[in-house]
Chains A and B, each alone.
Chain A
Amino acid sequence: ETGVTQTPRHLVMGMTNKKSLKCEQHLGHNAMYWYKQSAKKPLELMFVYNFKEQTENNSVPSRFSPECPNSSHLFLHLHTLQPEDSALYLCASSQDRSSQPGSEQFFGPGTRLTVL
């Protein structure tokens, strides 16, 4: 596969469940991102990783736990979510942020999450 892939594409979970979202990029990038997109709201940047190190956490609740084992993979672990966490979760990647700031981000198709 090419580009940025995300699995699953759709996820329905209860508030007591634990689930994980997976993102994989095949572009040789070193920066990866998690975004949340709620209905009729702008994209909200959640986390940024650069060379596997977390460089940004934009006040995201601890029920969202990111993991970046290598530059190609990014996970978002979910537990005890709330119905208001229902949204489209987008993963993106780009060139190294420190040496190429503002570089184009490549987005995956997203995971549509519904919390019951």
Chain B
Amino acid sequence: LAKTTQPISMDSYEGQEVNITCSHNNIATNDYITWYQQFPSQGPRFIIQGYKTKVTNEVASLFIPADRKSSTLSLPRVSLSDTAVYYCLVAALTSGTYKYIFGTGTRLKVLA
């Protein structure tokens, strides 16, 4: 079963690009990688999902190297409102059922 590891916290300044990496060393070939954002007193919110290479949407990019043992969430030009906890989630196929494994979360603080 894939286990995920993330940095505990990161600081950044407004307008900068932020890259948060998640390690999932034993990810299986059929596992998806998903990133969520969570604000205080709210449930997590989907940001982006990928399987391999690069995925981009209107809010973020997700980079997945060929070995898929890690993934990097890239937030372009962050603002104060991007201050939140970011979780990577690996959906691992185990005994015919997908099990979800959340990372420990990275607390991003964006400074003015």
Residue numbers of A with Cβ under 8 A of B are: 4, 41-43, 45, 55-56, 90-92, 97, 101-102, 104-110, 112
Contact = CB atoms under 8 A, between A and B. Distances in A.
Pairs A-B, 9 closest by C-beta atoms: A107-B43, A102-B32, A102-B91, A101-B98, A43-B102, A104-B46, A42-B102, A42-B104, A90-B43
A102 B34 contact: yes
Interface string B5-47: 0000000000000000000000000011010000001111110
Interface of B: 31-32, 34, 41-46, 49, 87, 91, 93, 97-100, 102-105
A101 B49 CA distance: 12
A101 B102 CA distance: 15
B98 to A, nearest CB: 4
A43 B49 contact: no
Contacts, number: 51
A106 B45 CA distance: 7
For the residues of B in contact with A, the DSSP-based class is strand
Contacts of B97: 55-56, 97
A107 B44 contact: yes
A110 B46 contact: no
B9 to A, nearest CB: 11
A110 B42 contact: yes
A42 B105 CA distance: 7
A57 B43 CA distance: 21
8 contacts: A42-B104, A102-B31, A102-B34, A105-B44, A109-B42, A110-B41, A110-B43, A112-B41
Nearest to B103: A42
Contacts of B100: 45, 105
A85 B31 CA distance: 31
Contacts of B34: 102, 104
Given A42-B87, A42-B104, A106 B46 contact: yes
B43 A108 contact: yes
A92 B43 contact: yes
A109 B41 contact: yes
